[in-house]
Chains A and B, each alone.
Chain A
Amino acid sequence: MLKIDRRTLLKSGAASVAASGLATPLIAQSRSLKVGSYGGYFEDSFKSFVYPEFTAATGIEVESVTQPNSADWLVTMQQAASAGTVPTDISLYGRQQMIKASRIGGLIAPLNVSAIANASNLDSYFVFEGPEGPQGVGAMSWFTALVFNPDEVETPASWADFWDTDTFEASLGLSNVHSSGLLDITSATFFDGEATMMSDEGILAIIDKVREIKPNVTLWWNAESQMEQGMKNGDVIGGQYYLDVANLMAADGFPIQPTFPKEGNLQDYGSWCLSEGSEKSEEAAEFMNFSCDPATQALMSRNIGTAPLVDQSATDLTDEEFAFVSGSPSIKPAYEAYLDNETFIKESWDKMLAES
């Protein structure tokens, strides 16, 4: 008797647990979305501030996926696509990676822009037209800024100050990746900006100029964290770094300060792209629509430190808040040159770095 009792008890218990435990996720699962974003602080802020607002507004649960901000992610997506899986429904791509993804094909799906009414708030430049129609909607923008250690040097007025060996000998931290902006910055400072980047001769002239800064560079970083450590522990007293992270580090009391020199800082932006093979295109459109809302753009600026893709006047950001995440002038990367002349630029750049 006891046995049967216990068994029935266990059965009914298990059934009720299953009912209570499974019922809720089942409903939520019918409306959910896997969204990728760059890990660490960036993704955490999305999880704490942006996704909950989206879920509250639409009832769609967001499952956050960590993805890198580099071509790495394209490799992962390619492998996943050939294995027939989709790691995310929406991924976040920089413009260069997005164009690459559209050229590779089979990675990002065309979007139904009519379902993303708020996209009209954005400049049409931020809705990316790929070979298969619209394939990306601008998410947020970020700056690579001139940063310096205010305890050691005066505020530089121009990027050209970094070429001054008396002040910066063996003291700068710059990125060692050819496409991470130093070429664009150098071109904007000493040449004709994007126009110079379009020819081989122009590229070589810019690289010659970069060669002159080499004695001043102590850290050629390839991971963001290297530059962060370098500034924190005083190995580096100036260089290029992300405006939002620099501001956050400064707020934490570390000796770093970003500034907008007269040539400006490098501005890039990220786009939401729908993964090919995702069955959540409707939910994705709702998410992109939510993201283009000026209120969401302001929410991201306040909590993540990214620059809005809509006019400041459309948001409720104060001048002070806006200055924290954005500024002018802005230097635009020469995307076309990086894509069409990739091998030449990389090899010339690597050669310059490898000279002793």
Chain B
Amino acid sequence: MTVADDLNVAADIPAKAAPGLTRKGALYGVLTALMVVFCVVPFILVIVISFGRKIEGAAWVWDFTFENYQRFFVGTLWPDEVTFLYLQQLGYSFYFAIIASLLAVLTALPFTLLLTRLKRSTQAIWLVFILSSLSMSEVFIVMGWDILLSNNSGLPKLFQVTGMTQWLKDVGWFQTLRDIGLANPRNVKFKPSEFATILTMSYLVWPYAVILLYPALSRLDPSLSEAARTMGASRWTVIRTVTLPSIRLPLMGTTLLLFVFLLGSYVTISVFATPDKQTTAVAIYSNIRGSNLNAPFGSAQAVILLISASICLYFGHLLNSKAEAR
């Protein structure tokens, strides 16, 4: 192709684009309308409701008050009394989401690395299997783990029939388990506990971690690490200095995505977390649809959760671009 041909092609474009523009315009119009109706309007509604006022013994009314936001930080009795209950819940939202997303990514990473070294056909089978496991809802997964950790049908039963419980009692470790809330006087128990909560949350997002990491890992050039190995680097040094730096971006991106996803988990927390470690998501639900019908306070909590998540994402992004610049 000559330069002249190129110019001709370029000249053709505006003539063709004219009729396409209206069609494109219409498409954009529809998409914008959809966005406004399904995203922007509900979103604005939540913000507006968060300024509403609760009426004791009834529902709530539209208003413009900052009381709900004030309550989030210091409680309803302020200034007579201060409570950080809602900040504590927000803290646990982050705590569980951070630990569970890190755990999921850290365990999915070696798995996905090994996966990319398998035969193409075997890889495909694994990926289809993992993709299909995404179709299970949170409720299903929590129910499954609930049964697996139950006294008569799960892990504690296994402990009992294999004599592990008795052994733990004999060596005196059983008391330690009771002290940290992982046993009652009769047997070990795994729920509700932090252990069950984090386990289930990581399990929930683990397939996402594999699927998000897979494209980046499968594009890794094996000759790089082979070269490093032939130059005498140990396997660990290769991972640390060659493999990890080259997948830093997808690794960060995946963790952040899973983290945001987990901030809103409801079923896992309400079933597996102890009452002193409940999160904002659960509190939002109990205010909006629970017995007290306090949608304004629920909305205020939702807005604050959203703002905190955005701040986190922003810092994540900042960290990324800083690392890029180096």
Residues of A within 8 A of B (CB): 70-72, 74-75, 78, 96, 99-100, 103-104, 152, 169-171, 176-180, 218-220, 222, 226, 229, 232-235, 338-344, 346-347, 350-351, 353-356
Establish whether residues A355 and B276, one from each chain, have CB atoms under 8 Å apart when the complex forms: yes
Q: How far is the CA of A342 from the CA of B154 in the complex (A)?
A: 40
Choice from A177, A233, A347, A353 contacting B75 with Cβ under 8 Å = A347
Complex contacts, B289 vs chain A, CB 8 Å:
70-72, 75
B168 to chain A: closest CB distance in Å? 15
List chain B residues, Cβ under 8 A from A220.
Answer: 192, 274-275
User: Shortest Cβ distance from B249 into chain A, in angstroms?
Assistant: 38
Contact at A234–B57, with CB atoms within 8 Å?
Answer: no
Name the B residues within 8 Å of A235 (CB-CB): 150-151, 189, 191
**Is there contact, CB below 8 Å, between A103 and B183?**
no
Assess the B152–A179 pair: CB atoms within 8 A.
no
Which residue of the partner chain, among A75, A99, A169, A353, contacts B275 with CB atoms under 8 Å? A353
B44 proximal to A (CB < 8 A): no
Extra contacts, 4 of them, besides A169-B185, A180-B291, A343-B294 (Cβ < 8 A), are: A170-B183, A229-B146, A353-B276, A354-B275
Determine if B151 and A234 form an interchain contact, defined as CB atoms under 8 angstroms apart.
yes
- Whether a CB of chain A sits under 8 angstroms from the CB of B56 is yes
Question: How far, in angstroms, from A169 to B290 measured CA to CA in the complex?
Answer: 29
Pairwise interchain contact A342-B57, C-beta atoms closer than 8 A = yes
B59 touches A169 (CB 8 A): no
* Cβ A354 vs Cβ B152 within 8 A: no
Mask, B196-239, CB within 8 Å of A = 1, is 00000000000000000000000000000000000000000000
* B120: min CB distance to chain A, Å: 44
- Which B residues are in CB contact (< 8 Å) with A100? 57-59, 293
Contact partner of A171 (CB less than 8 A), chosen from B83, B147, B184, B275, is B184
How far is B306's CA from A309's CA once the two chains are assembled, in angstroms?
Answer: 48
| Contact indicator A344/B76 (Cβ below 8 Å) | yes
Q: List, in ascending order, chain A residues with CB within 8 A of B278's CB.
A: 353-354
Across the interface, A170 reaches (CB within 8 A) one of B75, B88, B178, namely: B178
B271 touches A103 (CB 8 A): no
Q: Are B181 and A170 in contact (CB under 8 A)?
A: yes
Indicate if B270 sits at the interface (CB-CB under 8 A): yes
Q: What is the size, in residues, of chain B's interface with A at 8 Å between Cβ atoms?
A: 45
B322 at the interface (CB under 8 A from A): no
Task: Name the CB-closest residue of B to A352.
Answer: B275
Residue pair B293, A233 in contact (C-beta under 8 Å): no
A347 touches B57 (CB 8 A): no
Q: Which B residues are closer than 8 A to A by beta carbons?
A: 54-59, 75-77, 83, 85, 88-89, 146-147, 150-154, 178, 181, 183-186, 189, 191-192, 270-271, 274-278, 283, 286, 288-294
The docked-state distance in angstroms from the alpha carbon of A353 to that of B288 is 19
By a CB distance below 8 angstroms, the chain B residues around A344 are 76-77
A-B contact count (CB 8 A): 111
In the complex, the answer to whether B292 meets A350 with C-beta atoms within 8 Å is: no
Q: How far is the CA of A235 from the CA of B83 in the complex (A)?
A: 32
Give the contacting residue for B85; candidates A74, A219, A340, A350; CB below 8 A.
A350
Query: Are A170's CB and B293's CB within 8 A?
Result: no
Q: Known contacts A170-B178, A176-B275, A218-B189; decide if A74 and B293 are in contact (CB<8 Å).
A: yes
Contact of B184 among A96, A170, A226, A347 (CB under 8 A): A170
Which of B56, B178, B189, B288 is in CB contact (< 8 Å) with A342?
Answer: B56
Can you name 11 A-B residue pairings with CB atoms under 8 Å? Answer: A71-B292, A71-B293, A74-B59, A96-B291, A169-B184, A170-B185, A176-B275, A220-B274, A235-B150, A343-B56, A353-B278
**Residue on A with the closest CB to B54?**
A343
Shortest Cβ distance from residue A102 to the other chain B in the assembled complex, whole angstroms: 9
| Residue pair A70, B83 in contact (C-beta under 8 Å) | no
Most chain B Cβ neighbours within 10 Å, of A74, A179, A339, A346:
A346
Interface centre among B153, B185, B277 (most CB of A within 10 A): B185
Residues of A within 8 Å of B191, CB to CB, are 235
**Chain B nearest CB: distance from A353 CB in Å?**
4
Q: How far is the CB of A96 from chain B (nearest CB, A)?
A: 8
Shortest beta-carbon distance, A184 to chain B, in Å? 14
A71 touching B291 in the complex, CB below 8 Å, given contacts A104-B59, A170-B181 = yes
Residue of B nearest to A165 (CB): B185
- B185-A233 in contact (CB<8A): no
Contact present for B271 and A343 (CB under 8 Å): no
Q: Which residue of A lies closest to B147 (CB)?
A: A233
Least distance between A307 CB and chain B CB atoms (Å): 22
For residue B83, which residues in chain A have a CB less than 8 angstroms away from its CB?
Answer: 347, 351
